C-alpha cells in the first residue's frame, strides 16, 4: 500500500523545483521497472542499467506527463521503449515476457517474508510456469493487469486497443491460464481453490 504523497503531488513538487522528492517515485517504482527490464534481458546488470536509464529519462520528461493515466502506465511506456532501444544497441536477443527467471529475481528482491516461502514459491512458480505456456500476448495482458495493476483503459492505451477489447483479451487469457493450470498443475489448483 502506498504511503506518503500521491504520485501527482510528487510530480508537481519536482516540477516546482523540489528535485529531492523524485527519489520517492524511484523508490515506489524501482521493482516495477527492474522486473519489466528483466523480462527483456536475463542479465541483471543490463536490467539495472536499463532501470537507471528509465528513471533518468522519466525525470527529464516529467513535464510531459499529462496525468491522463496513472504514472505507472506512463512509466511502463518509457521502460519498454528503453528496453527495446537498449537491446537494439547491444544486439541482444529479446526474451519472452514470460521468462521464468524474471519472476524468481523479482521474488528474491522482497524476501522479507520467510514464513511459508517454500509453499508460496512453489505455487507462484507453478503459476509462472503455466504463464510460460501461454502466448506472449496472453502473458503480457495478465502481467499488465495483475502485476502492473493497470486498468483496462490503461492496458488499452499501452497495447493500442479498445478497453473492451482488452477486457475480452484478458478474460480469454485468464481462461487459457486456468486451462494450463488445471492440465499441468491440478494439485496446486485444488490447494488454491480450497
Separation of alpha carbons 45 and 174, rounded Å = 33
Q: How crowded is residue 95: how many other Cβ atoms within 10 Å of its Cβ?
A: 16
pLDDT in tens, the chain (194 residues): 456 678 889 999 999 999 899 999 999 999 889 988 888 777 889 989 999 999 999 999 998 888 877 888 889 889 988 988 888 787 645 555 555 555 555 455 444 444 444 455 566 677 777 777 888 788 888 878 877 778 888 888 888 899 999 999 999 999 998 888 888 777 766 666 65
3-state secondary structure of 133: coil
CATH class label, 7-90: mainly alpha
Q: Are 144 and 103 in contact (CB under 8 A)?
A: no
Task: Identify the CATH number of the domain defined by range 101-193.
Answer: 1.10.10.10
Q: Which residues contact 8 (CB under 8 A, 6 or more apart)?
A: 67, 71
pTM (predicted TM-score): 0.53
Domain ranges of the chain: 7-90, 101-193
Amino acid at each position: 500500500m502506498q504511503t506518503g504523497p500521491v504520485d501527482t503531488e510528487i510530480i508537481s513538487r519536482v516540477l516546482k523545483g523540489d528535485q529531492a522528492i523524485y527519489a520517492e517515485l524511484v523508490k515506489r517504482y524501482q521493482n516495477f521497472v527492474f522486473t519489466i527490464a528483466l523480462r527483456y534481458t536475463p542479465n541483471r546488470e543490463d536490467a539495472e542499467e536499463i532501470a537507471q536509464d528509465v528513471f533518468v529519462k522519466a525525470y527529464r520528461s516529467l513535464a510531459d506527463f499529462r496525468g491522463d493515466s496513472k504514472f505507472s502506465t506512463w512509466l511502463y511506456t518509457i521502460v519498454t521503449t528503453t528496453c527495446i532501444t537498449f537491446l537494439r544497441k547491444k544486439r541482444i536477443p529479446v526474451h519472452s515476457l514470460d521468462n521464468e527467471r524474471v519472476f524468481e529475481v523479482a521474488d528474491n528482491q522482497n524476501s522479507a517474508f520467510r514464513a511459508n516461502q517454500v509453499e508460496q514459491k512453489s505455487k507462484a512458480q507453478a503459476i509462472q510456469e503455466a504463464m510460460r505456456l501461454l502466448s506472449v500476448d496472453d502473458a503480457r495482458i495478465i502481467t499488465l493487469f495483475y502485476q502492473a495493476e493497470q486498468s483496462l483503459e490503461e492496458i488499452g492505451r499501452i497495447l493500442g486497443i479498445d478497453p473492451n477489447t482488452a477486457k475480452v483479451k484478458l478474460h480469454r487469457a485468464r481462461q487459457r491460464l486456468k486451462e494450463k493450470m488445471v492440465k499441468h498443475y491440478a494439485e496446486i489448483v485444488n490447494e488454491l481453490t480450497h
